[in-house]
A and B are shown apart, each in its own frame.
Chain A
Amino acid sequence: MSHSAKAPALRMGIPIPNSKLGMWLFLGTEIMFFTAFIGSYIVLRLGSNGWPTRYEDTHINVLLGGVNTFVLIVSSYCVVVAHEAMAQKNFTRARRFLSVTLLLAVLFLGIKGLEYKGKIDNDILPGRIPETSSQAVSKVADQLQELVRERFAVYTNEPGALIKVDRPEDILAIAPLVQALPDTERPADLTNAEFAGYTSSAKADYALYEKWDNLQKHIVANVSLSWPALPLEYMEKRATLKDGEKPPELTLDEVKVYLTDMKKSGPQAALVSARVFDPHPIVYGNIFASSYFIMTGFHAIHVIVGMILFAAVLKQGSSLNEKWTDFVENSGLYWHFVDLVWIFLFPMLYII
């Protein structure tokens, strides 16, 4: 065991730059991060008795997903060419390809935003999707209530409220006041035309309230819309039933007809059409929406981080030099990983 003074230095560690080793270790944690979501999604989906896959239920557009896949593949290609150009010290070419990558990332997020908008517009959001008929009926009532609340706020909003109330959220207490509004005296600060506008809208809003109130009462009593829901009339009609007969229950189909009528001809028909969704139970819709948003959302955050990395390189402008080669390689590795995740998300969310 004799060591000469001139013994060659030991080569320790892995023959790659520390930054690259760091990036690969980080990507190792990223694999586990995304597998947590993707694995849970697979397990949840396999464990469910059903899963929403029709376009009307999910608003998932295979074409948009396919275009986004293509966009990411092109961007991955651009990154790899940019890294090659950096290695060949052709920095202008590297910058050109990185700029294209950045633009493609923006395009990807734009298309993703379009998809998100479709889901938000149709209320395909976690916790907001009715899964059973009774939930679908309740959702119609909830949305109508929201609309009534919003319309009543027109009269109770300070300053210069036409109806002064202590608790503007109590629509049950405000309703009679809105009903009586056309018969009240015109406030001095309003012109005749302005006041006439309020009185006519008050009539329509009260009628809307009555429609909501009627539905709400039927939901509470769980009785068909063909039956009265007011306590006295309900009890009278119930007394006429024979032994063993039960009042007919409220069904989703009648509520659908009720809502369609409101959308066709009721007061505020346009408003109801725009704001109240046709009842549409989607079994396992909420767990689908949760999985979709958590996976695509975290992926989108990764895209944004990638954009920041490329922007940092592009910020160097014409002074970009070989010191940035490792940085470009590492951001490239990260970007390919982002592409890799999408390669699995696309078939799992859009196709299967």
Chain B
Amino acid sequence: MSHDTHSGHHVNYLMIFFVLCGCTALSVLFDVLSFSKPVTMVLVLAVACAKALCVMMFFMHLKFEGNWKYVLLAPTTILAIGLPIALFPDIGSSYYINAAPQVGVWADEVAEYEKHHAESANAEQHGEAAGEVENPTETVTSEEK
């Protein structure tokens, strides 16, 4: 009964297997060729998606299943994609200082962090053109202090 749904379809599993092996070799090749980081990222993730599609469509027989597959898989896929998107504003775009998770002496860590930030702030100031517009909110805060 379980194979009623796809009994009419014959899949050449061996061919799918060779395609998957070829894709794996391709991923390793992209690593060896050492393109720039974003290019490698796009290429290997594209290969991964192709492999995932092969496995889902043929090995998991989704190609031959009825429309229930959409009802079952669409909500979880939407939620799964939603999670990283929901996390991104908090973590993906602004992150912790790397000194924070492993603290030896807190004061030292803060000093190191501030020193680093003072350096980068100085560098930015030197880099920017003169006549910089002052941030009004910042002025108010410093006056209040």
Q: Does B14 contact A (CB under 8 A)?
A: yes
A residues near B84, Cβ cutoff 8 Å: 35, 39-40, 42-43
- A74, A81, A286, A347: which has the most chain B beta carbons within 10 Å? A347
Given A131-B101, A352-B44: A73 in contact with B21 (beta carbons within 8 A): yes
Instruction: Indicate if the CB atoms of A339 and B76 lie closer than 8 Å.
Output: no
A residues near B40, Cβ cutoff 8 Å: 351-352
A residues near B37, Cβ cutoff 8 Å: 352
Given A69-B24, A336-B59: A130 in contact with B102 (beta carbons within 8 A): yes
Instruction: Indicate if the CB atoms of A347 and B44 lie closer than 8 Å.
Output: yes
Cα distance A36–B86 when bound, in Å? 11
Secondary structure dominating the interface of B: helix
Q: Does B66 contact A (CB under 8 A)?
A: yes
Cα distance A24–B101 when bound, in Å? 39
Segment 90-131 of B: residues with Cβ below 8 Å from A: 91-95, 98-99, 101-102, 104, 108-109, 112
B residues near A347, Cβ cutoff 8 Å: 27, 44-45, 47-48
Q: Per-residue 0/1 for B65-84: is the Cβ within 8 Å of any A Cβ (1 yes, 0 no)?
A: 11011001101110111011
Secondary structure dominating the interface of A: helix
Cβ-defined partner of B24 (8 Å) among A29, A70, A87, A287: A70
A residues near B98, Cβ cutoff 8 Å: 48-50, 131-132, 283-284
Q: Does A10 contact B (CB under 8 A)?
A: no
Cα distance A21–B66 when bound, in Å? 12
A-B contact count (CB 8 A): 170
- A16, A84, A138, A284: which has the most chain B beta carbons within 10 Å? A16
Cβ-defined partner of B72 (8 Å) among A15, A24, A284, A332: A24
Cα distance A270–B80 when bound, in Å? 51
Instruction: Indicate if the CB atoms of A32 and B79 lie closer than 8 Å.
Output: yes
Cβ-defined partner of A43 (8 Å) among B47, B88, B112: B88
Cβ-defined partner of A340 (8 Å) among B3, B52, B83, B109: B52
Segment 308-329 of A: residues with Cβ below 8 Å from B: 325-326, 329
Cα distance A62–B44 when bound, in Å? 13
Instruction: Indicate if the CB atoms of B17 and A17 lie closer than 8 Å.
Output: no
Instruction: Indicate if the CB atoms of B76 and A36 lie closer than 8 Å.
Output: no
Instruction: Indicate if the CB atoms of B2 and A20 lie closer than 8 Å.
Output: yes
Instruction: Indicate if the CB atoms of A127 and B76 lie closer than 8 Å.
Output: no
Cα distance A280–B137 when bound, in Å? 42
Segment 4-49 of B: residues with Cβ below 8 Å from A: 4-5, 7, 13-14, 16-17, 20-21, 24, 27-28, 30-31, 37, 40-41, 44-45, 47-48
Segment 336-352 of A: residues with Cβ below 8 Å from B: 336-337, 339-340, 343-344, 346-348, 350-352
Cβ-defined partner of B2 (8 Å) among A76, A326, A337: A326
Q: Does A159 contact B (CB under 8 A)?
A: no
Counting chain B residues whose Cβ lies within 8 A of the other chain, the interface size class is 35 or more
A residues near B73, Cβ cutoff 8 Å: 24, 28, 31
A residues near B92, Cβ cutoff 8 Å: 42-44, 46-47
Cα distance A84–B13 when bound, in Å? 10
Cα distance A76–B60 when bound, in Å? 10
Cα distance A17–B77 when bound, in Å? 23
Cα distance A135–B105 when bound, in Å? 10
Q: Does A174 contact B (CB under 8 A)?
A: no
Cα distance A138–B47 when bound, in Å? 43
Cα distance A336–B16 when bound, in Å? 13
Instruction: Indicate if the CB atoms of B60 and A336 lie closer than 8 Å.
Output: yes
Closest 3 CB pairs of A and B: A39-B84, A35-B80, A47-B95
Q: A residues bordering B, Cβ < 8 Å?
A: 14-17, 20-21, 24-25, 28-29, 31-32, 35-36, 39-40, 42-44, 46-50, 62-63, 66, 69-70, 73-74, 76-77, 79-81, 83-84, 87, 127, 129-132, 134-135, 138, 222, 283-284, 286-287, 325-326, 329, 332-333, 336-337, 339-340, 343-344, 346-348, 350-352
Further 4 A-B residue pairs, CB within 8 A, beyond A40-B87, A69-B27, A134-B108 = A20-B2, A286-B102, A343-B52, A351-B27
A-B contact pairs, 25 of them (CB 8 A): A14-B66, A15-B68, A17-B1, A17-B2, A24-B73, A31-B73, A31-B80, A39-B80, A40-B87, A46-B92, A47-B95, A48-B98, A50-B98, A66-B28, A73-B24, A76-B20, A76-B55, A76-B59, A77-B14, A127-B102, A131-B102, A135-B104, A343-B55, A350-B31, A352-B45
